[in-house]
């Protein structure tokens, strides 16, 4: 396997890194403090083609391979974990739903607007009683003339309060279990009955609004159903599987940010008449941090490679997400430790990296669920 980045991949990495260093890093603490959606940064990323990285140019996407997309997302998350989630939910979830399961008219109308950054996307799957247990959802879509009447609610929806296009899952046949779930395109500004109940006050991931949504007799036309009735559960699983690669990328980005900050601090902080980077204990921490981040990055690229070759990558995506999410928290934790007392204050970004990293172990498949997935795939080989 060739691990050398192509010229295009290096260019993407360098372009995004430059944008992140110049525009995102100086704003990261402010975004974390205010928890405001950074619309201006989204506009700038749209101009750079970063809101539709893996989609074809015929839909105004950047036409990048999945390696380049993961590299770009890791750089964005290095600057701001919340910004990384905004892009991942918009692209890997909402965008991929439309690209993989939308018809030509749906792609032209909705995916194109997402890729240009004109619209923001969200993916509405989880509910209060249906997180990991997707078939337990209660949101229902009943036939009503040439459309559907939708009632119910969703929780933990990234971008949910700012989205222009929401890919929504609801039961069209309550008695059919997972085969009774369908997926739809919802337009919050157009669809009466779409209600944002509020947003969560989270530990980290600031700047990305996580919304609670409610649907009260919300009618949508049949042409906004994605694929056939009953295909929604399969849509969700396939989309989340690809999304796990990008959560691995977010994890890698945060781990790299924590390592970079810890390395700089260790070289500048002096104790016992010298920089603490000269202490073997600190050197070992930095060595382990870098090794873990590098291993996570390789797992991420392995899953991306399989996806690009249209081979089965369920286990590899789960492993990449599981390992990268856990090491991002471990690396961020060591970053706090290296900073000592300063690491526990907001004077340094080490504590922000720690807070942002924890989410990686929860959304788009908890670590516990991913271990089940990996074991099932392993035993079926």
Contact 114, 52 (CB under 8 A): yes
**Helix extents (H) in the chain:** 7-19, 25-34, 39-47, 66-79, 81-88, 96-101, 104-106, 112-116, 232-268, 280-308, 314-339, 350-358, 367-380
Q: Which of 212, 297, 334, 364 is catalytic?
A: 364
Comparing CA positions, the residue from 99, 78, 88, 13 lying closest to residue 245 is 88
CA–CA gap between residue 82 and residue 217 (Å, rounded) = 32
Contact 136, 125 (CB under 8 A): no
**Structure-token match 């993407």, residue found:** 12
- Which residues partner with 212 through β-bridges? 198
Helix (H, G, I), strand (E, B), or coil: what is residue 287? helix
Contact 332, 367 (CB under 8 A): no
Contact 121, 89 (CB under 8 A): yes
- Residues in CB range of 40: below 8 A, 6 or more apart: none
CA–CA gap between residue 122 and residue 60 (Å, rounded) = 19
Label the pairing between strands 121-124 and 165-171: parallel
Whether 142 is catalytic is no
State the burial class of residue 337 (Cβ atoms within 10 Å of its Cβ: 0-12, 13-18, 19+).
middle
Contact 371, 379 (CB under 8 A): no
CA–CA gap between residue 24 and residue 26 (Å, rounded) = 6
Locate 90 and state its tokens.
């918009």
Backbone angles phi, psi at 191, to 5 degrees: -100, 105
- Burial state string for 159-173 with b = 16 or more CB within 10 A and e = fewer than 16: bbbbbbbbbbbbbbe
Residues with catalytic function: 364
């Amino acid at each position: 396997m060739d691990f050398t980045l192509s010229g295009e991949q290096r260019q993407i990495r360098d372009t995004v890194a430059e944008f992140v260093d110049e525009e995102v890093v100086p704003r990261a603490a402010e975004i974390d403090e205010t928890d405001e959606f950074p619309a201006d940064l989204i506009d700038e990323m749209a101009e750079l083609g970063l809101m539709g990285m893996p989609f074809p140019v015929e839909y105004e996407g950047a036409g990048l391979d999945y390696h380049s997309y993961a590299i770009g997302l890791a750089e964005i998350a290095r600057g701001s974990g919340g910004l990384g989630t905004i892009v991942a939910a918009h692209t890997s979830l909402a965008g991929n739903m439309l690209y993989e399961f939308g018809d030509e008219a749906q792609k032209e109308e909705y995916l194109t607007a997402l890729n240009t950054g004109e619209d923001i996307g969200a993916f509405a799957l989880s509910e209060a009683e249906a997180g990991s247990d997707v078939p337990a959802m209660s949101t229902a879509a009943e036939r009503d003339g040439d459309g559907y009447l939708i009632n119910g609610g969703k929780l933990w929806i990234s971008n949910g309060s700012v989205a222009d296009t929401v890919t929504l899952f609801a039961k069209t046949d309550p008695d059919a279990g997972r085969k009774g779930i369908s997926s739809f395109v919802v337009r919050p500004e157009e669809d009466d009955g779409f209600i944002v109940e509020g947003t969560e006050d989270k530990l980290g991931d600031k700047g990305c609004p996580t919304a609670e949504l409610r649907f009260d007799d919300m009618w949508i036309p049949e042409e906004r159903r994605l694929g056939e009735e009953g295909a929604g559960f399969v849509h969700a699983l396939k989309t989340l599987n690809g999304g796990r690669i990008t959560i691995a990328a977010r994890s890698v980005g945060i781990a790299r940010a924590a390592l970079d900050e810890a390395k700089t601090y260790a070289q500048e902080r002096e104790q016992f008449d010298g920089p603490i980077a000269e202490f073997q204990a600190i050197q070992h921490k930095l060595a382990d941090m870098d090794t873990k981040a590098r291993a996570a990055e390789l797992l991420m690229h392995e899953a991306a490679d399989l996806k690009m070759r249209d081979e089965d990558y369920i286990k590899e995506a789960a492993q990449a997400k599981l390992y990268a999410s856990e090491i991002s928290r471990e690396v961020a934790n060591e970053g706090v430790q290296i900073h000592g007392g300063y690491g526990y204050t907001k004077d340094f970004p080490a504590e922000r990296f720690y807070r942002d990293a924890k989410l990686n172990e929860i959304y788009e498949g908890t670590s516990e669920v991913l271990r089940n997935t990996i074991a099932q795939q392993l035993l079926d080989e």
